[in-house]
Structure 1
Amino acid sequence: MKSHAATLLAEVRTFRQNHPDVRYVDLIALDLPGHFYGKRYPIEMLEKVAAGSPLKLPQNAVLLGTQGGLFKIGDYCFNDGDPDANRRLVPGTLKPVNWESQPLGQMLITSDGTEAPIEFEPREVLAKVLERLHHKGIHPVVAFELEFYLFDKKLDNGLPQFARDPLSDDADDQPNLHIERLSRFSEVLDDMAQTAKDQGIDITVITAELGPGQFEINFGHQGDGLCAADWAALFCRSTRGVALKHGYRASFMAKPYLQFPGSGMHVHVSLYDGAGNNLLAAHQQQPLRHAVAGCLELLPHCMPIFSPNHNAFRRLGGTVNAATRACWGFEDRDACVRVPESDPRNLRIEHRLASADANPYLVLAAILVGLEHGLDAKQEPIPPLNEDRASGTDFPVEMLDAVRAMQHQAVVRDKLGAEFVDVYCENKRQDHLAFQQEIHAREYRWFL
Structure 2
Amino acid sequence: MKSHSSTLLAEVRTFRQNHPDVRYVDLIALDIPGHFYGKRYPVDMLEKVAAGSPLKLPQNAVLLGAQGGLFKIGDYCFHDGDPDANRRLVPGTLKPVSWEAQPLGQMLITSDGTEAPIEFEPREVLAKVLERLHHKGIHPVVAFELEFYLFDKKLSDGLPQFARDPLSDDADDQPNLHIERLSRFAPVLDDMVETAKAQGIDITVITAELGPGQFEINFGHLEDGLRAADWAALFCRSTRGVALKHGYRASFMAKPYLQHPGSGMHVHVSLYDAAGNNLLAAHQQQPLRHAVAGCLELLPHCMPIFSPNHNAFRRLGGTVNAATRACWGYEDRDACVRIPESDPRNLRIEHRLASADANPYLVLAAILVGLEHGLEAAKEPLAPLNEDRNSGTDFPLEMLEAVRAMQHQPALREGLGAEFVDVYCENKRQDHLAFQQEIHAREYRWYL
> Is TM (by shorter chain) over 0.5?
yes
Q: Residues 71-106 of structure 1: CA distance to partner in whole angstroms, max 9, x if unpaired?
A: 000000000000000000000000000000000000
- Shift of residue 114, structure 1, vs aligned partner: 0.1
Residue 283 of structure 1: how far off its partner (Å): 0.1
The whole-number CA distance in structure 2 between the counterparts of 1:351 and 1:403 is 21
Alignment correspondent of 1:416? 416
CA distance in 2, matches of 1:131, 1:2: 23
Over residues 360-414 of structure 1, what are the superposed CA-to-partner deviations in whole Å (9 max), with x where a residue is unaligned? 0000000000000000000000000000000000000000000000000000000
| CA shift digits 1:321-343 (9 cap, x unpaired) | 00010000000000000000000
Match of 2:165 in 1: 165
Q: Cα distance, 1:195 vs. partner? A: 0.2
- Taking the aligned partners of 1:79 and 1:313, their CA distance within structure 2 comes to 33
* Superposed structure 1 runs of 4+ greater than 2 Å apart: none
Cα distance in structure 2, aligned partners of 1:69 and 1:23: 30
Partner of 1:71, secondary structure, is coil
Describe the superposition over 1:263-311 as per-residue Cα deviations: whole angstroms up to 9, x where unpaired. Answer: 0000000000000000000000000000000000000000000000000
Secondary structure of the structure 2 residue equivalent to 1:254: coil
Deviation of 1:346 (Å): 0.1
Measure, in 2, the Cα distance between the counterparts of 1:443 and 1:324. Answer: 27
User: 1:216, 1:107 → 2: CA distance?
Assistant: 25
| Contact 1:263–1:355, Cα closer than 8 Å, also in 2 | yes
8 Å Cα contact 1:164/1:170 also seen in 2? yes
**Cα offset for 1:318?**
3.0
Alignment of 1:40-79 (within 5 A): 40-79=40-79
Check whether the contact 1:165–1:184 (CA below 8 A) recurs between aligned residues: yes
Alpha-carbon distance in structure 2 between the residues aligned to 1:5 and 1:302:
38
Q: What is the CA–CA distance in structure 2 between the aligned matches of 1:188 and 1:154, rounded to whole Å?
A: 17
Which residue does 1:359 correspond to in 2?
A: 359
The aligned counterpart of 2:206 is 206
**In the alignment, structure 1 residue 260 sits paired with structure 2 residue 228:** no
1:28-58 Cα offsets, whole Å, 9 max, x none, are: 0000000000000000000000000000000
**SS of the residue aligned with 2:143?**
strand
Q: Distance in 2 between matches of 1:111 and 1:2?
A: 19
SS at match of 2:50: helix
How far apart, CA to CA, are the structure 2 residues paired with 1:127 and 1:212?
37
Q: 1: CA distance between counterparts of 2:95 and 2:144? A: 21
Q: Distance in 2 between matches of 1:371 and 1:214?
A: 31
1:430 corresponds in structure 2 to: 430
Within a 5 Å distance, the mapping from 1:142-291 to structure 2 comes to 142-291=142-291
Shift in Å at residue 2 of structure 1?
7.1
2: distance between equivalents of 1:272 and 1:48? 39
Q: Deviations over 1:170-212 (max 9, x none)?
A: 0000000000000000000000000000000000000000000
Q: Is the 8 A contact 1:142 1:267 kept in 2?
A: yes
Q: Partners in 2 of 1:422 and 1:141 — Cα distance?
A: 29
Secondary structure at 1:263's aligned position in 2?
coil
TM-score (normalised: structure 2): 1.00
Q: Which runs of 5+ in 2 are unaligned?
A: none
Question: Counterpart of 1:164 in 2: which secondary structure?
Answer: coil
Would the aligned equivalents of 1:139 and 1:274 in 2 still touch at CA under 8 Å? yes
Alignment partners' CA distance in 1, 2:303 and 2:387: 26
Give SS of 2:394's match. Answer: coil
Contact 1:59 1:84 in 2 (8 A): yes
Q: Between the two proteins, what is the percent identity of the paired residues? A: 92
SS in 1 for 2:168: coil
1:293 maps to 2:298: no
Alignment RMSD? 0.6
CA contact (8 A) 1:329 1:337 kept: yes
Work out the CA distance in 2 between the residues paired with 1:436 and 1:318: 24
Task: Write the distance in 2 (CA, Å) between the matches of 1:200 and 1:352.
Answer: 25
Structure 1 residues 99-150: Cα deviation after superposition (integer angstroms, max 9, x where no partner): 0000000000000000000000000000000000000000000000000000
> C-alpha displacement at 1:233, in angstroms?
0.1
1:87 is paired with a residue whose SS is: strand
1:408-430 CA-partner distances (Å, limit 9, x unpaired): 00000000000000000000000
5+ unaligned residues in a row in structure 1: which ranges? none
Count how many residue pairs are aligned between Structure 1 and Structure 2: 448
Structure 1 length as normaliser, TM-score? 1.00
Instruction: Find the aligned partners of 2:226 and 2:387 in 1 and give their Cα distance.
Output: 36
Q: In the alignment, which residue of structure 2 is the partner of 1:338?
A: 338
Aligned partner of residue 140 in structure 1, secondary structure: strand
2:400 aligns to what SS in structure 1? helix
1:215-245 deviation line (CA, Å, top 9, x unaligned): 0000000000000000000000000000000
- Tell me if structure 2 keeps the 8 A contact 1:269–1:350: yes
CA distance in 1, matches of 2:317, 2:268: 21
CA distance in 2, matches of 1:443, 1:46: 52
Corresponding residue number in structure 2 for 1:308: 308
Shift of 1:319: 1.1
Q: Is the 8 A contact 1:262 1:318 kept in 2?
A: no
Q: Distance in 1 between matches of 2:268 and 2:8?
A: 31
